[in-house]
Chain A
Amino acid sequence: LAKTTQPISMDSYEGQEVNITCSHNNIATNDYITWYQQFPSQGPRFIIQGYKTKVTNEVASLFIPADRKSSTLSLPRVSLSDTAVYYCLVGPLDSGTYKYIFGTGTRLKVLA
């Protein structure tokens, strides 16, 4: 079971780009990296997933270096509504049975 390490918290201002880095030194060859967002009183929800290099969707970008021992979630031009906890998880894709272990997550606070 891969273990991840993230900063506990970050503050940013509206309109800025936010980069949250996750360390996963023992990632396995068949593991993917998935980021989740959790608002208070809600379950985590999927943001983005990748295996290597760069992935971009309408919400965020995910940068993964060649050694895959870390990844960076990039949120462009954050707004107050992006205030949430962000979790990085690693595990095999579409297994249906894999037990993800959550790390501490990063509590992002966006300020006006």
Chain B
Amino acid sequence: SAVISQKPSRDICQRGTSLTIQCQVDSQVTMMFWYRQQPGQSLTLIATANQGSEATYESGFVIDKFPISRPNLTFSTLTVSNMSPEDSSIYLCSVTTGPYGYTFGSGTRLTVV
């Protein structure tokens, strides 16, 4: 399965600022997926990032708030813009390679103060 490097692992940010999360995969993948996991909750899909095209956002998530870049087949970024305390969550990137469903990054724990 793929190996994913996600960074930063954690950050504390001031409200109103933005944070960009990076996700690097050790192999080329068609799709990269970004999830949010609020404290004590399950994972919620934010968007799907396909190389060379605009990301596809799930209901409740918009590009202005969560812009995504996918410049090549091994890399993607998610930006959390104009942050508020409600954005405090763990953000995870993931890919599907091979027969075992998803491989996840280790996550970025974001705290907005």
**Which residues of B sit under 8 angstroms from A32, Cβ to Cβ?**
101
B99 within 8 A of A: yes
Q: Considering the chains assembled together, what is the distance between the CA atoms of A93 and B92 in angstroms?
A: 21
B42 and A104 form a contact (CB under 8 A)? yes
Interface size class of B (residues with CB under 8 A): 20 to 34
A52 to chain B, nearest CB (A): 16
Contact among B29, B48, B92, B97 with A99 in the assembled complex (CB-CB below 8 Å): B48
Which of A32, A34, A44, A104 has the most chain B CB atoms inside 10 A of its CB? Answer: A44
A93 and B99 form a contact (CB under 8 A)? yes
What are the interface flags for A42-64 relative to B under an 8 Å C-beta threshold, 1 for contact and 0 otherwise?
11111001000000000000000
Interface size class of A (residues with CB under 8 A): 20 to 34
A95 and B96 form a contact (CB under 8 A)? yes
Chain A: which residue is nearest B29 at the CB level?
Answer: A96
Task: Given A96-B97, A97-B30, decide whether A43 and B104 contact each other with a Cβ distance below 8 A.
Answer: yes
Chain A: which residue is nearest B105 at the CB level?
Answer: A43
B-facing residues in A92-106 (Cβ within 8 Å): 93-105
B30 and A89 form a contact (CB under 8 A)? no
Chain A: which residue is nearest B48 at the CB level?
Answer: A99
Contact among A43, A97, A103 with B92 in the assembled complex (CB-CB below 8 Å): A43
A34 and B101 form a contact (CB under 8 A)? yes
B17 within 8 A of A: no
A41 and B102 form a contact (CB under 8 A)? no
B109 and A91 form a contact (CB under 8 A)? no
Which residues does B use to contact A, with CB under 8 Å?
1, 29-31, 33, 35, 42-45, 48, 90, 92, 94, 96-107, 109
